[in-house]
Structure 1
Amino acid sequence: MAAQRTAGGGGTGPVNGKGVLLAAALCAVILTVTGVLVAVLPEPEQEGHRLPALARSHGIDLGVAVAVDPLDRDRRYRGLVEDHYTSVTAENTMKWEHVQPERGEYDWSGPDAVVDFAADNGLGVRGHTMLWHNQQPAWLAEGDWDAEELSAVVHEHVTTVMERYRGRIGAWDVINEPLEDGGPQMRRNLWYEVLGPDYIARTLYSAHAADPDAALYINEFGIESAGPKADALYDLVAGLVERGVPVHGVGFQSHFVHGNVPDDLAEQMRRYTDLGLEVAVSELDVRVDAPVTDEDLREQRQEYHDVLAACLEVEGCVNVTVWGVTDAHSWIPEWFPGTDAALPFDTAYRPKPALSGMVDALSRRGRRPGPARGARPRPPGAAP
Structure 2
Amino acid sequence: MRGAASTRWHPPTRGRGALLTAGVLCMVVLVVSAILAVALPHPEQEQPTRGLPHLARAHGIDLGVAVAVNPLTHDTRYQSVVTENYTSVTAENAMKWEHVQPERSRFDWSGPDAVVDFAERNGLDVHGHTLLWHNQQPSWLAQGDWSAQELRQVLREHMEALLGRYQGRVTSWDVINEPFQDHGPRLRENLWYQVLGEDYIAEALSMAHEIDPEAELYINEFGIEGGGAKTDAMYSLVTDLLDRGVPLHGVGFQGHFVHGNVPQDLAEHMRRFSDLGLEVTVSELDVRIPQPPREQALRQQEQEYQHVVQACLEVPRCVGVSVWGVSDQHSWIPEWFPGYTAALPFDEDYEPKPALDGMTEALSRRR
Q: TM-score, normalised by structure 2?
A: 0.86
Instruction: Give unmatched runs, 5+ long, in structure 2.
Output: 1-48
User: Tell me, what secondary structure is at the counterpart of 2:281?
Assistant: strand
CA gap of 1:362–1:289, structure 2 versus 1, over 3 A, is same
Structure 1 CA distance for aligned equivalents of residues 183 and 156 of structure 2: 29
2:338 aligned residue: 337
- Corresponding residue for residue 83 of structure 2: 82
Q: Which residue of structure 2 lines up, in the alignment, with residue 25 of structure 1? A: none
Q: How many residues align?
A: 319
Give the drift of 1:130.
Answer: 0.3
Partner secondary structure for residue 338 of structure 2: coil
- List aligned pairs for 1:111-260, cutoff 5 A: 111-260=112-261
- Give the superposition deviation at 1:49: 5.8
Q: Aligned letter for 1:75?
A: T
Q: Which residue of 2 aligns with 1:8?
A: none
Conserved? CA contact 1:159–1:206, under 8 Å: no
Structure 1: runs of 5 or more not aligned: 1-47, 367-384
Q: How does 1:265-276 map to 2 (within 5 A)?
A: 265-276=266-277
- TM superposition shift of 1:189: 0.2
What is the CA–CA distance in structure 1 between the aligned matches of 2:121 and 2:179, rounded to whole Å? 34
Shift of residue 243, structure 1, vs aligned partner: 0.4
Q: Could you say if the C-alpha distance between residues 49 and 353 of structure 1 is closer, same or farther in structure 2, counting changes exceeding 3 Å? A: farther
- 1:291 offset after TM fit, Å? 1.3
CA distance in 2, matches of 1:276, 1:213: 17
Measured after TM superposition, the shift of residue 76 of structure 1 is 0.3
Q: Secondary structure at the match of 1:178?
A: coil
Task: Tell me the alpha carbon deviations over residues 308-341 of structure 1, each in whole angstroms, 9 at most, x when there is no partner.
Answer: 0000001200010000000000000000000000
Q: Distance in 1 between matches of 2:232 and 2:156?
A: 29
SS at match of 2:108: coil
Shift in Å at residue 107 of structure 1? Answer: 0.4
Q: CA deviation at 1:213?
A: 0.9
Give the Cα separation in 1 of the matches to 2:214 and 2:121.
21
Tell me the distance in 1 between the aligned counterparts of 2:134 and 2:184. Answer: 15
Q: Classify the secondary structure of the residue corresponding to 1:305.
A: helix
1:290 aligned residue: 291
Inter-partner Cα distance in structure 1 for 2:70 and 2:60 = 31
Distance 1:263 1:193 in 2: 37
Preserved contact between residue 49 and residue 84 of structure 1 (Cα < 8 Å): no
Contact 1:253 1:282 in 2 (8 A): yes
The residue type equivalent to 2:83 in the other structure is: E
Quick one: which amino acid aligns to residue 322 of structure 1?
V
Q: The residue matched to 2:128 in structure 1 has which SS?
A: strand
Structure 1 or 2, whichever has the larger Rg, is: 2
- Closer, same or farther in 2 for the Cα pair 1:239/1:338, shift >3 Å? same
Which residue is equivalent to 1:323?
324
Shift of 1:282: 0.3
Structure 1 length as normaliser, TM-score?
0.82
- Report which of the two has the higher share of helix: 2
Of all paired residues, the percent bearing the same amino acid is 67
Map 1:13-32 → 2, pairs under 5 A: none
CA RMSD of aligned residues (A): 0.9
SS at structure 1 position matched to 2:217 = strand
Shift of 1:178: 0.3
Indicate the structure whose relative CO is greater, using CA pairs within 8 Å and at least 6 residues apart.
1
Q: Which runs of 4 or more aligned residues in structure 1 lie more than 4 Å from their structure 2 counterparts after TM superposition?
A: none
For 1:157, the aligned partner's letter is: H
Structure 2 counterpart of 1:100, one-letter code: Q
